Amino acid sequence: MEHKQGIRTTHGRGRLFDSVLETIGDTPVIRVNNIPTKGATVYVKAEAFNPAGSVKDRLAVNIIEAAERSGTLKPGQTVIEATSGNTGIGLAMVCAQKGYPLVVTMADSFSIERRRLMRMLGAKVVLTPRALKGVGMYKKAAALAKEHGWFLASQFETDANADIHEATTGREIVADFDRSALDYFVTGYGSGGTISGIGRVLRKERPETKIILTEPANAQLLGSGHAQERETNNAPAVSHPAFEPHPIQGWTPDFIPAVLEEAVTGGYYDELIPVAGPDAIKCAQDLAQKEGIFTGISGGGTFAVALAVAEKAPAGSVILCMLPDTGERYLSTPMFENIAEDMDAEELAISMSTPDAQLE
**Taking 70 as the threshold, does the pLDDT of residue 293 lie above it?**
yes
Average pLDDT, the chain: 95
**For residue 359, what pLDDT band results from cuts at 50, 70 and 90?**
low
pLDDT computed for residue 109 by the predictor: 85
Across the chain, which distance is largest between two alpha carbons, in Å? 74
The average pLDDT across 299-324 equals: 98
**Taking 90 as the threshold, does the pLDDT of residue 134 lie above it?**
no
* Cα 146 from chain centre: 28
**For residue 1, what pLDDT band results from cuts at 50, 70 and 90?**
low
For 118, the 3-state DSSP assignment is: helix
The tens digit of pLDDT for each residue in 85-128 reads 899 999 999 999 999 999 999 999 888 999 999 999 999 999 99
* Structural domains of the chain, ranges and CATH numbers in brackets: 2-50+168-336 (3.40.50.1100), 56-152 (3.40.50.1100)
The tens digit of pLDDT for each residue in 264-281 reads 999 999 999 999 999 999
**Taking 70 as the threshold, does the pLDDT of residue 69 lie above it?**
yes
The average pLDDT across 294-304 equals: 98
Find residue 45's DSSP bridge partners: 29, 322
Neighbouring residues of 340: CB distance < 8 A, sequence distance ≥ 6: none
pLDDT computed for residue 86 by the predictor: 93
**Taking 80 as the threshold, does the pLDDT of residue 245 lie above it?**
yes
Catalytic residues: 56, 298
**For residue 4, what pLDDT band results from cuts at 50, 70 and 90?**
low
CA distance 185 to 323: 12
CA distance 300 to 284: 4
The tens digit of pLDDT for each residue in 200-237 reads 999 999 999 999 999 999 999 999 999 999 998 898 88
Burial class (CB in 10 A: 0-12, 13-18, 19+), 218: middle
Residue 125's nearest CA partner among 100, 155, 145, 105 is 105
The alpha-helical segments, DSSP class H, found in 206-344 are 221-224, 258-265, 277-286, 297-312
CA distance 29 to 33: 13
**For residue 3, what pLDDT band results from cuts at 50, 70 and 90?**
low
pLDDT computed for residue 2 by the predictor: 65
- Pairing of the two strands 184-187 and 102-107: unpaired
CA distance 299 to 291: 13
pLDDT computed for residue 358 by the predictor: 62
User: Can you say whether the dihedral through the CA atoms of 227, 134, 50, 297 is positive or negative?
Assistant: negative
